[in-house]
Amino acid sequence: MAETKKLMRALAGEVMDVPPVWMMRQAGRYLPEYRATRAQAGDFLSLCYNPDLAAEVTLQPIRRYGFDAAILFADILLLPQALGADLWFVTGEGPRLSTITSMNEFNALKGVGDIDEVLSPIYETVRILARELPAETTLIGFAGAPWTVATYMIAGRGTKDQGPAHKLMAENPAVFDALIDLITKGTIEYLSKQIEAGAEVVKIFDSWAGSLKGEAFTRYALEPAKEIITALKARHPNVPVIAFPREAGDKYIGFARATGADCVALDNSVSADWAATNVQVDGCVQGNLAPDHMVTGGQALTLETKRIVKAFSKGPHIFNLGHGITPDANPDNVQIMIDAIRG
Ligand code: CP3
């Protein structure tokens, strides 16, 4: 049967007059229905591990806006938890984890074979979504990239410059490399299981790729992505992969070709015109409206949305924001963006 889902067609390289659209963090605190379900779950992690409620919040933005894709509701830090790290969220501040800074701490982590014990509710969420999503909506699974996940596991929290991870890389490369390798292998397993449960596409979030420079970018952003994608393609050759090496700048050039990704997601620090010339030449790109427009709205939102659609109109494109929508966004602005895309 010919592929009818718009997101899958763009990932296969088809150029469309109206690009498919979804948003990072589309299930999130800017939506009153999300806040209500999260309150029902109690806290964020309880929501992630409750398949019925996680599926419900995944479906909410699909019902409200009719996005072309739904992204599994979960978090990139569930894998570290499944590997044995302690994980909790401090309201208003963000995630906290037990830290990994020595070989002893690394050796206390669990193996890749153990992760399903914690992560099986996530696969159940995927199974529910595969049943309940509208026929035209693509289901996206995801995981964090090894470098980004490692920055949280090493520092025990989000950091502005990823200093603790860079320090461990320099001072104790044996521990650092072992950790990157464990996360890489765990991610292959985790994403394979999401695919087996019904994810049609997977996305790898490397939110802190931009702080890796020169050889370190190749070794810790590009090579792990390539290892994960190669392994996934061997097991599931028809499942497209979106890679998001955020703030990679000119290292976006050739990233899809070098890693085997079917699509590269662009943050909004690169211009759409530049990316159309330098990145879209290799295939599908996703992006890259600045999330601030979802807060500020107005004519600038419509104009900028149309400008991005036009800049990418000569090649395969999936419309998205350059990063996640923020809690202070106005839900009406999302509809304005969609109307500007779909006309
Ligand atoms: O995009 C989606 O809607 C899918 C679900 C998703 C979440 N987090 C839900 C979430 C995805 C894909 C992520 C990825 C994620 N998580 C990343 C990489 C992408 C990025 O944004 O750069 C990172 C670095 C994390 C780790 C994380 N999770 C942080 C730093 C925080 C706290 C920041 C904040 O906004 O409070 C989270 C919490 C989180 N993950 C929320 C959501 C909806 C907010 C939790 C809440 O309801 O309070």
| Burial readout 190-208 (b: 16 or more C-beta within 10 A, e: otherwise) | bbbbbbebbbbbbbbbbbb
Q: State the CB neighbour count (10 A cutoff) for residue 230.
A: 12
Average pLDDT over residues 139-160: 98
Between the alpha carbon of residue 343 and those of residues 57, 64, 305, 334, the distances in Å are 27, 18, 11, 14
pLDDT band at 317 (very low <50, low <70, confident <90, very high): very high
pLDDT tens figures, 39-66: 999 999 999 999 999 999 999 999 999 9
Q: What is the spatial distance between Cα 192 and Cα 113, in angstroms, rounded to a whole number?
A: 13
Cα 243 to Cα 82, 155, 219, 326, distances in angstroms: 23, 24, 16, 21
Q: State the catalytic residue, choosing from 9, 49, 68, 75.
A: 75
Confidence of residue 216 (pLDDT cuts 50, 70, 90): very high
262-268-269 Cα angle (round to 5): 110
Is 29 known to be catalytic? yes
21, β-bridge pairs: 319
Is the pLDDT assigned to residue 157 strictly greater than 70? yes
Q: What is the dihedral of CA 38, 53, 324, 143, to 10 degrees?
A: 130
DSSP 101-152: -SHHHHHTSPPGGGTHHHHHHHHHHHHHHHHHS-TTPEEEEEEE-HHHHHHH
Q: Tokens 């999260």 — which residue?
A: 38
The more confidently predicted of residues 3 and 34 is 34
User: If pLDDT is split at 50, 70 and 90, which confidence band does 3 have?
Assistant: confident
Whether 256 lines ligand 1, by a CB cut-off of 6 Å, is no
- Helix (H), strand (E), coil (C) string for 276-289: HHHCHHHCEEEEEE
pTM, two decimals, is 0.97
Question: Is the CB–ligand 1 distance for residue 288 below 6 Å?
Answer: no
Nearest CA to ligand 1 atom 36: 94
Burial of residue 113, with CB atoms counted within 10 A of its CB: 0-12 exposed, 13-18 middle, 19 or more buried: exposed
Choice between 1 and 249, residue whose per-residue pLDDT is larger: 249
pLDDT value for 203 = 99
Between CA 94 and CA 154 the distance in angstroms is 15
State whether the beta carbon of 8 lies less than 6 angstroms from ligand 1. no
Angular region, 19: left φ>0, alpha ψ -120 to 50, beta rest? beta
